[in-house]
Amino acid sequence: MTTKLFGEPVRRREDARLIIGKGRYLDDIGHHALAAAFVRSPHAHARITDIDVEAALDVEGLVAIYTYEDLHGPMAEPLPVLIPHPQLHSPRTGYPLANGIVNHVGEPIAMVVAIDRYIAEDAAERIAVSYEELPVVVGVDAAREAAHWVHEDVPSNVAAHHHQETGDVEPALAASPHTLSFTQYIERSACTPMEGKGVHARWDPDDGSLRVYTSTQASTSVRAAIAAKLQLSLDKVEVIAPDVGGGFGVKIVHPWPEELLVPMAAIALQQEVKWAEDRREHFISSAHERQQKQEITVGFTDEGRITALDVHIWHDNGAYTPYGIIVPIVTATQLVGPYVLPVYRVIVESVYTNTVIVTPYRGAGRPQGCYAMERTMDRIADELGLDRALVRERNLIQPDQFPYDHHLTFQDGRPVIYDSGDYPGLMAKLKTLVGWDDVETLRAEASSRGKQLGIGMALYVEGTGPGPYEGGHVQVLGSGKVLVSTGLTSQGQGHETVFAQIVASELGVPIEDIEVTTGDTRRFGYAVGTFASRAAVMSGNAIALAARGVKEKALRIAADVLEASPDDLEIDNGVVQVKGVPGSSVPLRTVAVLSNPLRYAFDEAAKQATQFAIPGSDDKPPVAVGDAPGLEHRDYYSPIRSTFASGAHAAIVEIDPQTWEIDVVKYAVVHDCGNVVNPMIVEGQVHGGVAQGVGGALYERMAYDKDGQLQNASFMDFLMPYASEVPEIDIDHQQTPSPLNPLGIKGAGEAGVIPGTAAIASAIEDAVGRRIAAMPISPTELYDLVRNPESELTATAGRRAGTGAMA
């Protein structure tokens, strides 16, 4: 069996365990723990005038009730702004429990602990909270008007004013042969993973240590937050992410109030305490994303080449800014896509509203940026009567222009310099894959069936693998098992398989002998987290470096045994051998035993490493200076800047003019994430992302009313695409290795979702001949748009069917 598995479609090793119900999720832990429940605000904006717990005290099985008055020290302070930024001039965060004011429905006010969740919920219902309601701000337009303020000390409702610029926009626009100005919207959506958040905490009073299990994307960061807020020594806090049932960004936020309050209660009560989020709680108290209003002005030539782009974005950040302004920064810097923009200005005003906080959701600002840029390309093509693909091709960065510096600053504080790519190659592959040049034949055939057919495309560049670092540890045991650990967490991406493939290839061992652990601070205490398509880039390279360190030591030890030079040795299928001389070899497991000089023999294998079995040289210590016992190595990868993956998507839609149902009948993806570790897993990530892209384009939205009440806080009302709504996806790969890391890889986790909204909007517009300015779009909204005589007709529709055809 080969051990060179890098690039092979190895089946996911974790799936069998999860499919047969052997997963261990948060709610599988602590069956006998005390249970927590929360009293949450029913109002979007109100002053708390009284909290009366008297009626709850009679509930049998009640253990404790906590309000803000019970918080002390750092726990009584606001939650941290995790990523400060100089342009975030008015950051605001909430408290673990509301301190006098609530700013969105679902904000926690009190925590109840009881012997089980049912009793905790019963007691929570009996707590009477009195409110003085305050004016409510919902949506970016209301925030801009600032007739009312979310925070009384932020009179404009503007949390941040983010500005980046290359060149002088006004003169460049004035000198442009053509200019266009338009406005478009993207609505709120949310991650909605299958498993909500959850926390279990256990306190050991004898040694003053705390163990916390939490469904998180950042176990080491949660550990640091808990230690800081509860004033514990970091070495006394352990945080473990068990199996996590999806994250998509919402679980990168830390600490959630519950991640502090549950451990606080466990310490105070000296008993295990657990809380598992229910679905309504997740909808109204976790995090959302996406909502932006985009005001765009573009200058361009007769050939469709952009001369200047000016974008003003109004970003809804919800009631607080715990994750800083990462999402709008990503929008601002990823908007440029794969194109040459001689002059570019982006201004983002991130505003407060009385709605749930906004933090990254798969794509994290990139879908909005792609929507702005790709719809701009469509508008230019329509204005000039040119093919949409041709306009894109004329603006693409060329392969000989890499590395390409956009002179912008990315979310990691590093420059936006594209490391490698072939964007014309992506475009050529996409046109062939989707049949771009044959669409009129498809349109005629659809028309014969009474359907309106349209095609759209969207290209993107995705910054992946931002730092500052990740680490990896590889250890070979005397049994031959290889233990691999890294600090970042897993939520279904296939890390166990991918990291094992990397080690098998680097170390020359069978993948069956490799065990991978992620997200456990007991095994690896220093890490950043899983987000921004960074796991393979960051931990993958760190693990590769660690495996190379193990290999170097193994060859050095084996060289003494085999009386050969390390340069003449290789490891294959777990055996160290002289190259070309298979009989001259030693098992790697034996090398692991020999790496640890022993005084005592505990088993047969240990006998090989005792002092009389291998007496060694009289003038050398048993453990060399600078060396350490054991066949293991720990290493870290810290990049100078992010890698930039890229791709191109195309969608073909059919629309029934009787029902205005929108059916995505074909979807094509060409994807470039550098060297591919496992193409099967990459395709799985793309498939999942495309499904979320279809959802974002046609179904998913968080619908708030004017009072800040979420109208669709359940899966009965929040629409998502089923398998029946997700088309078959044709995928092609392109590989342009990154020169920035040892493995030449780029991230892939968010690629599938980024261009979906833009590509589908383009296809719908092509089908019906009306401007699509807001997404997602429902059949009812499409019907209203087409039947509204004031809605704007595209020039393409006029040329193809006559100006009055869609009136």
Averaged pLDDT, 44-70 = 98
Given a cut of 50, whether residue 807 has pLDDT beyond it is: no
pLDDT tens-digit series, residues 611-659:
777 767 778 888 888 889 999 999 999 999 999 999 999 999 999 999 9
Q: Give pLDDT, residue 579.
A: 93
561 vs 115: which has the higher pLDDT: 115
* pTM of this structure: 0.95
Given a cut of 50, whether residue 511 has pLDDT beyond it is: yes
Q: Give pLDDT, residue 800.
A: 61
Q: What is the mean pLDDT of the chain?
A: 95
Q: Which helix (H) or strand (E) holds 162?
A: strand 158-166
Q: Give pLDDT, residue 3.
A: 72
Sequential DSSP letters for 564-618 = S-GGGEEEETTEEEETTEEEEEEEHHHHHHHTS-BSS--STTGGGGBTTTS---T
Q: Give pLDDT, residue 806.
A: 37
Q: What angle do CA 76, 77, 78 make, to 5 degrees?
A: 125
Q: Give pLDDT, residue 799.
A: 62
Q: Classify residue 539 by its DSSP letter.
A: I
Q: Give pLDDT, residue 337.
A: 97
Q: What are the angstrom distances between the C-alpha of 651 and each of 170, 663, 727, 760?
A: 35, 10, 9, 6
**Is the separation of the CB atoms in 609 and 450 below 8 Å?**
no
pLDDT tens-digit series, residues 491-509:
999 999 999 999 999 999 9
Averaged pLDDT, 122-127 = 98
Tokens of 630: 């054991």
Assess whether the previous peptide bond of 779 is cis (omega < 30° from 0).
no
SS3 state of residue 787:
helix
Half-sphere exposure of 721 (CA within 13 A, CB side): 23
pLDDT tens-digit series, residues 366-386:
999 999 999 999 999 999 999
Q: Which helix (H) or strand (E) holds 34?
A: strand 34-40
Q: Give pLDDT, residue 789.
A: 87
pLDDT tens-digit series, residues 302-320:
999 999 999 999 999 999 9
608 vs 147: which has the higher pLDDT: 147
pLDDT tens-digit series, residues 248-285:
999 999 999 999 999 999 999 999 999 999 999 999 99
Burial group, residue 151, by CB count within 10 angstroms (0-12, 13-18, 19+): middle
Given a cut of 50, whether residue 55 has pLDDT beyond it is: yes
pLDDT tens-digit series, residues 437-471:
999 999 999 999 999 999 999 999 999 999 999 99
* Ramachandran area for residue 708 (φ above 0: left; ψ -120 to 50: alpha; else beta): left
pLDDT tens-digit series, residues 770-805:
999 999 999 999 999 999 988 999 987 666 654 333
pLDDT tens-digit series, residues 160-171:
999 999 999 999
Averaged pLDDT, 242-248 = 95
Q: Give pLDDT, residue 798.
A: 63
Q: Give pLDDT, residue 537.
A: 96
pLDDT band at 1 (very low <50, low <70, confident <90, very high): very low
pLDDT tens-digit series, residues 181-240:
999 999 999 999 999 999 999 999 999 999 999 999 999 999 999 999 999 999 999 999
Rounded to whole angstroms, how far apart are CA atoms 380 and 382? Answer: 5
Assess whether the previous peptide bond of 80 is cis (omega < 30° from 0).
no
**Is the separation of the CB atoms in 218 and 528 below 8 Å?**
yes
Tokens of 418: 């594209």
Q: Where are the beta strands (DSSP E) in 376-530?
A: 404-409, 415-418, 452-464, 470-476, 482-486, 514-518
pLDDT band at 707 (very low <50, low <70, confident <90, very high): very high
Block residue for tokens 């500005």: 163
Cα–Cα nearest to 662, from 552, 776, 492: 776
SS3 state of residue 133:
strand
Rounded to whole angstroms, how far apart are CA atoms 144 and 316? Answer: 10
Rounded to whole angstroms, how far apart are CA atoms 15 and 443? Answer: 41
Q: Give pLDDT, residue 603.
A: 84
Averaged pLDDT, 736-764 = 96
Rounded to whole angstroms, how far apart are CA atoms 507 and 609? Answer: 22
Tokens of 382: 């329509």
Rounded to whole angstroms, how far apart are CA atoms 316 and 157? Answer: 10
